[in-house]
Structure 1
Amino acid sequence: MLVKTLFVVLSLIALGSCDSRIRYRFFREATYVDDYTHANFHTILTNPNFVQTRQTVIFHYGAGQTLATPQIHDVVTAYAVNRQFNFIVIYYDNINTISSGEANALAEGVTVNLLEIFDRGYNSGLMNLLGFSLGAQIMARASRQVQSRSNRRHIISRLTGLDPWNLGPISSITVGTLSSADAQWVESIHTESSNRGDHGSRGHIAFFVNGGISQPMCTQTLPTARWDCSHNFALSVWAESVRAASPVFPSLQCDSWSQFQAGQCNSNQVANLGRTSINTSIRGSYFLSTNMQAPWSRNQAQP
């Protein structure tokens, strides 16, 4: 009787630890999906369309967004038609779920699910966590918690932060910000100033698109609209890189945008921003210019 009671108690604790807000959508084909909850996400390993020897990309979007947000839809569509990956999106039924105040709880839920599939045999060295805005900070926290809670048995291979959100001084401490310590290789893409983005959230390599402060094609009258336009441009750039068959967005290692524009970095190392970038030995800050309309990638790294 005691054993049965203990089992019931433990089961209730386990159920209570599930975050029912978290949903996972697995794109087994471009227009065919399988949905999972926090409670059953680990069963994705038995899905015949989930290839356990293939890289998995899990994407977390930002606050105030949904799967129908145009820039989010662009990224999702780009990955969904690319059969090189197991592609999964974390989504929420309530648009207000994602907030700085909930970042720790959401990261906790993602951490638990990641540890479940890693402990069941999926290789963390095949995992790419991709996050935009606040989603980047949530994924960064989940990635470093996977390391600490597994005593570094499981380390995420690649962490990609698309214009990581500026958490502010308090949440930067309580949540933590994206850094090179969070995964085997961490990259950050910056498109907006501190009005939205956080230039202090940097990985092993940080890309500053058109200087990373504001985007020249964002000419809206209202400042907040311009900020959002520049912030969301990180998604457009990334989606284009996912669709590309070869490396795009050539960028120059440089210490500042002014030096880049003056041509002082023209002979420096070139790196490519985007999904097709595979040189994980590169380090430092890289700057690039884009076209004023899609396709955004230019053919040369020089300004």
Structure 2
Amino acid sequence: MAAQGVVVLLLLIAAVSAVPASLDPIISKLDPEGLRYGYLRDDEGTPHLVDSWIKASDLREMARYNPDTDNEYHLYTRSNPLVSQPIVQGNTNLLAASNFDPAKRTIILIHGFLGNILSGFNTVLVPAFLLAGDVNVIVVDWGAGAHFGFNGIASGRSVGRFISWLNQASGANVNNYHILGYSVGAHQAGIVGRSLLGQASYITGMDPADRWISSQALKSDDAVYTEVIHTNIGNIGVEEPCGDVDFYPNGGVNMPGCATAVCDHYRSYFYMGESLATGGFIGTQCASLEEAKAGTCNLEGRLKMGGLQPKTGSTGIYHVRTNAAPPFSQD
């Protein structure tokens, strides 16, 4: 069946390749209920106009990206905190020669739109995790396909296949994974979790992108415990809760010390990094999203945002107050 699907796709690509570029017919409407056009910001904050309808020219371009061969996986551990070791799916000898320890917790980091291994998301969180615990950190570089947000779907499924191979080859357990994604990468983290049948213990979504395909968005059941940090709602980031627990620092927008939406967006992973170091950021539970946005939450529930371990079984919406500069936590 999979082979037939590949043949059909190749025939479709060949067919649309014969169509004059000026016509560029619509092949698929990935989000038919939403707006066709909108802006996505890359990991450096630059806005790019994107079209949620796939055209013939898009299909030809997307066909050039094969996540199973184009994605790169970079391993960092306390034994190699600065220079990564490559892990290549199917290459068991390379895996055996690496510092990957299947008995340790494994962190998967997934950058956003037009990002790569050098994205700020990675440069903040790799050292933060290695300082916080003796873990495996694997950076997913899907930069070869990150020029199309849609490629995040194929990439997420491919990352799931990579993790399944890694577990089979090394004896690692899917329950010992923490998958983190930023912006578009947050939704990709959900797709990875779904491909693992929701068995990963922890997913953290950092300001998931608002401009995304609703059917492929991050959901609470993508992992055993799913946590979301919202820092630029109503602009770059999605406003509605989408995890088991959703934190809205400072109401989810206009972070203290920030003057731009991009700065707000970045704060999501800076807060996550600091939470690994200090364990701060204690949230107050809210009765509703409107209370979280207004900062008027007064329920008795308290919960730490971020951190190394999942808060399995916790649910709800929480408000957190932060400082304008590091240390951001007031706790």
- In structure 1, the residue matched to 2:134 is 84
- In structure 2, the residue matched to 1:280 is 312
Of 230, 235, 255, which residue of structure 1 is paired with 2:264? 230
- 1:101-122 Cα shifts (integer Å, max 9, x gaps): 2112111211211121233432
User: Unaligned regions of 5+ residues in structure 2, if any?
Assistant: 1-64
Is 2:218 aligned against 1:178? yes
Aligned length: 264
Is 2:233 aligned against 1:197? no
- Change in 2 beyond 3 A, CA 1:265/1:243: same
Of 287, 290, 297, which residue of structure 1 is paired with 2:329? 297
Which AA in structure 1 matches 2:301?
Answer: Q
- Change in 2 beyond 3 A, CA 1:66/1:130: same
Give SS of 1:51's match.
coil
Which AA in structure 1 matches 2:208?
Answer: P
CA drift at 1:132: 0.6
- In structure 1, the residue matched to 2:68 is 19
- In structure 2, the residue matched to 1:134 is 184
Is contact 2:241-2:317 (8 Å) kept? no
Which AA in structure 2 matches 1:103?
Answer: G
Q: How does 1:1-303 map to 2 (within 5 A)?
A: 19-28=68-77, 29-40=80-91, 46-47=96-97, 49-92=99-142, 94=144, 97-120=146-169, 121-147=171-197, 155-168=199-212, 171-173=213-215, 176-200=216-240, 202-219=242-259, 226-244=260-278, 247-256=279-288, 259=291, 265-266=297-298, 268-276=300-308, 278-299=310-331
- Change in 2 beyond 3 A, CA 1:68/1:126: same
**Structure 1 vs Structure 2: percent identity of aligned residues?**
25
> TM (normalized to structure 2)?
0.72
Give SS of 1:31's match.
strand
> TM (normalized to structure 1)?
0.78
- Change in 2 beyond 3 A, CA 1:212/1:89: same
Which deviates more, 26-35 or 271-280? 271-280
- Aligned partners of 1:44, 1:241: CA distance in 2, in Å? 33
- Change in 2 beyond 3 A, CA 1:44/1:54: farther
Give SS of 1:30's match.
strand
Which deviates more, 268-277 or 183-192? 268-277
CA RMSD of aligned residues (A): 2.6
Is contact 2:292-2:317 (8 Å) kept? no
Which deviates more, 23-32 or 258-267? 258-267
